[in-house]
Structure 1
Amino acid sequence: MSRADYSGMEKAKTFIVVEIIEYVPNSVVIKTIIRKTTGNVSAVSFDSGESLAHRLVPFDTYIQIIEGKAEIVIGEEVNNLNTGQSIIVPANVPNTINANERFKMISTVIKSGYDDIPDMSLL
């Protein structure tokens, strides 16, 4: 693992995301998959009854539920997501993630301000 990229997973090795993080009683567990200056990807597990209120984040956050069901409140709107469903939490909007039952998710943040970097998807 390179000190400069703070990745939590070994590069060039396959893994199953839902298996890299476990449930811990009465806890929210976060495992960084990859962290760069331009953003990060994390696997997160929530035990039943746990919640996480986010401060205002200046970037959009993509959330995908990979196991179970989650309640994600964005502003005042309640969204109930099941396994396989995703949502984008807009930047600078208060939000809370509630675990009415335990679940796992992937959180992806892509930071703005790097618009001069070439679009690699066109290659």
Structure 2
Amino acid sequence: MSAQYLKNIEFEKALKLSELVEYQPGQVVSRTLVQNNHVGVTLFSFDKGEQISSHASSGDAMVNVLAGKARITIGDKEYTVSEGESIVMPNNVPHALYAEEQFKMQLTVVFPY
């Protein structure tokens, strides 16, 4: 068997990513699928009103919205993203996220080599 780079996910099975993280009252829940020096892939669920405060990353980050709606601040600009939409947050630019309603996303971060 070859090495497996993904974790916390079933192989060879059709899955709905939005069903792999559950909402918890007053919490942000995460499930890491990949984390190494080059890439991170994490699923998140946010209860309404939960947030991740402003921070920056050394990698480019892409949010794919799986359910709900959130407000994402990138630098000094605000964006509202909803199910089916994606947005890229460039490396080294402060960004923050606020769940306007219950919200699920897949976060992919690609780090410099």
Give the TM-score normalised by structure 1. Answer: 0.82
Corresponding position: 1:110 with 2:110: yes
| Residue identity opposite 2:18 in structure 1 | V
Structure 1 residue 98: Cα displacement: 0.2
1:42 is paired with a residue of what secondary structure?
strand
Map residues 43-122 of structure 1 onto 2, 5 A cutoff.
43-113=43-113
Using the aligned pairs only, state the percent identity: 33
Structure 1: gaps (5+ residues) = 114-123
| Residue identity opposite 1:98 in structure 2 | Y
2:12 is paired with a residue of what secondary structure?
coil
Give the TM-score normalised by structure 2. Answer: 0.89
Structure 1 residue 109: Cα displacement: 0.8
Structure 2: gaps (5+ residues) = none
Q: Cα deviations across residues 4-61 of structure 1 (Å, max 9, x unaligned)? A: 8472213333321011110000001111122333212111000011010242211110
1:49 is paired with a residue of what secondary structure?
coil
Q: Cα deviations across residues 47-103 of structure 1 (Å, max 9, x unaligned)? A: 011010242211110001110111000011000011101000010111110012111
Q: Which of structure 1's runs of 4+ aligned residues deviate more than 6 A?
A: none
Contact 2:75 2:93 (C-alpha < 8 Å) held by counterparts: yes
Greater Cα offset, 49-58 or 91-100: 49-58
Hey, what does 1:117 align to over in structure 2? Answer: none
Aligned residue pair count: 112
Contact 2:55 2:96 (C-alpha < 8 Å) held by counterparts: no
